[in-house]
């Protein structure tokens, strides 16, 4: 029987592959990086007005009480935000995984910069939305959008914190309400580090429920099961556990399904599984051929096209730099299969980065090529190496670019599948893998090695190659 966590992973992966997934990040994800939570943030303000933030359940009201005591002046609150959130802390592994996932939409109520830092470090072009006026601007070439619905530490005076600001939010920030409502209707959200005590989220969910009663999209809340804290009485723990159960049951009204884990580390492990399985569904094809090295060109072309066809029909996505002959043939077979299947699309099935050969400056050209390779390879979990040769000074030589792609794939933890029997740089990759096989496939039962050895032998009619590739790839995807 599939566990609830495993069932969630499969469903969320399906949405991710269809570009329908989104994530909503709350304060809990920032506390693990060393930032204070809401109670910790408000602790000195509460003390100043003779209250205790650890005893308060309505922290929005607590912030309002303090603001009332200051006759509505926010200076001290703004300074506190700057003091607590201006540190340049490093993103956590959870942030880094979320940044690497091909999510097009991120939402957060956090003021810190952890999420955008992680996304930018992942090499993705981010469009950050901080204010209502900023919503109408679009950053050219963006890879993802981050909506900071409660503001940013760089604009502390515009952050949403106290009850007054929450009560006015649906008017003062109506475009944010509209945007989030639309995403919640159209996308499947994963909520992380979130407590579901935010009045704005409750307001938006309530209106969606009223409009779409019985037809709401399923969302997921990945959170830790409440456990007894050191020194906590059994009575207090029982109350807290009952409260969590009631929150979980209430979220069902909004079709939010709680996925409970025992430890915070389990959240990271679950995100890692999502990333790994998503990457395993993408196969990077490396290779180029100015010459087929004595192999029958007709058979080679048929095999290359069939590789593309098989990958698509088996549910994989193909990443390729469109290497001469090799990449174009594989992509041709893939496109033919995509167009024969109404359930697949070019956008979701192919990641192509044709290399711009017209860059005259050698250093700039190599820099661009390396970036292309890193972007492609980082999205995949499996890499196939085929042929790999080019004409240089009138001579046929092995392609150094294919070897660089092998090194990058190894560095990023991809499973390496060399088709060494056709020669070229792929033969050198095959020799490396077979010589140090235990380093590349430490858990192999012998079937993967046998298949790679078949790929390192003569091609014949090509059917043996196709069977061997299919055996390896499908085994890796299941494992």
Between 163-172 and 59-69, two packed helices, what is the crossing angle to 10 degrees?
A: 100
**CA–CA separation, 58 and 55 (whole Å):** 9
DSSP state letter for 479: -
Under 8 Å CB-to-CB from 347, ≥6 apart: which residues?
A: 19
CB 14 within 8 A of CB 69: no
* Nearest of 408, 285, 415 to residue 352 by alpha carbon: 285
Q: What is the per-residue burial (b if ≥16 Cβ within 10 Å, else e) of 265-296?
A: ebbbebbeebbebbbbbbbbbbbbbbebbebe
Between 447-455 and 463-478, two packed helices, what is the crossing angle to 10 degrees?
A: 150
- The four Cα atoms 194, 198, 201, 203 give a dihedral, to 10 degrees, of 160
- Lookup: tokens for 202: 């409750």
Cα 341 to its chain centre, rounded Å, is 26
Is 173 labeled as catalytic in the residue annotation? no
Catalytic residue among 95, 150, 219, 415: 150
Q: Any idea which residues carry the catalytic annotation?
A: 150
């Amino acid at each position: 029987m599939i566990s609830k966590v495993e069932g969630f992973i499969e469903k969320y992966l399906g949405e991710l592959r269809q570009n329908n997934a989104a994530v909503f990040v709350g304060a809990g994800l920032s506390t693990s990086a060393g930032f204070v939570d809401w109670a910790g943030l408000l602790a000195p303000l509460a003390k100043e007005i003779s209250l205790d933030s650890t005893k308060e359940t309505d922290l929005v009201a607590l912030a309002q009480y303090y603001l009332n005591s200051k006759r509505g002046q926010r200076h001290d609150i703004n300074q506190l935000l700057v003091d607590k959130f201006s540190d340049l802390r490093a993103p956590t592994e959870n942030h880094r995984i979320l940044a690497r996932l091909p999510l097009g939409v991120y939402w957060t109520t956090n003021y810190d910069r952890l999420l955008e830092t992680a996304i930018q470090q992942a090499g993705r072009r981010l469009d950050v939305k901080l204010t209502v006026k900023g919503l109408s601007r679009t950053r050219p070439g963006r890879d993802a959008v981050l909506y900071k619905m409660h503001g940013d530490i760089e604009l502390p005076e515009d952050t949403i914190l106290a009850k007054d600001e929450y009560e006015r939010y649906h008017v003062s920030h109506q475009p944010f309400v509209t945007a989030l409502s639309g995403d919640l209707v159209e996308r499947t959200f994963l909520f992380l580090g979130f407590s579901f005590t935010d009045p704005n989220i409750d307001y938006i969910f309530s209106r969606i429920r009223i409009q779409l009663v019985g037809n709401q999209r399923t969302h997921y809340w990945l959170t830790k099961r409440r456990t007894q804290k050191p020194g906590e009485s059994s009575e207090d723990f029982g109350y807290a556990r009952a409260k969590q159960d009631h929150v979980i049951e209430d979220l069902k009204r909004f079709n939010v399904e709680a996925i409970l884990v025992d430890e915070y580390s389990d959240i990271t492990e679950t995100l890692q599984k999502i990333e790994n399985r998503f990457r395993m569904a993408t196969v990077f094809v490396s290779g180029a051929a100015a010459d087929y090295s004595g192999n029958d060109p007709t058979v080679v072309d048929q095999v290359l096209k069939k590789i593309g066809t098989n990958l698509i029909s088996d549910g994989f996505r193909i990443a390729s730099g469109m290497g001469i002959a090799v990449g174009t043939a594989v992509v041709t077979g893939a496109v033919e299969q995509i167009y024969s299947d109404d359930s697949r699309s070019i956008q979701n099935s192919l990641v192509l980065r044709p290399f711009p050969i017209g860059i005259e400056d050698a250093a700039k050209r190599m820099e661009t090529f390396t970036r292309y390779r890193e972007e492609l390879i980082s999205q995949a979990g499996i890499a196939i190496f085929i042929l790999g040769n080019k004409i240089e000074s009138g001579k046929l030589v092995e392609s150094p670019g294919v070897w660089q792609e092998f090194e990058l794939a190894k560095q990023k933890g991809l499973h390496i599948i060399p088709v060494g029997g056709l020669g070229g740089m792929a033969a050198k990759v095959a020799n490396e893998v077979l010589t140090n096989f235990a380093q590349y496939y430490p858990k192999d039962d012998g079937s993967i090695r046998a298949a790679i050895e078949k790929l390192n032998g003569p091609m014949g009619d090509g059917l043996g190659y196709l069977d061997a590739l299919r055996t390896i790839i499908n085994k890796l995807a299941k494992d």
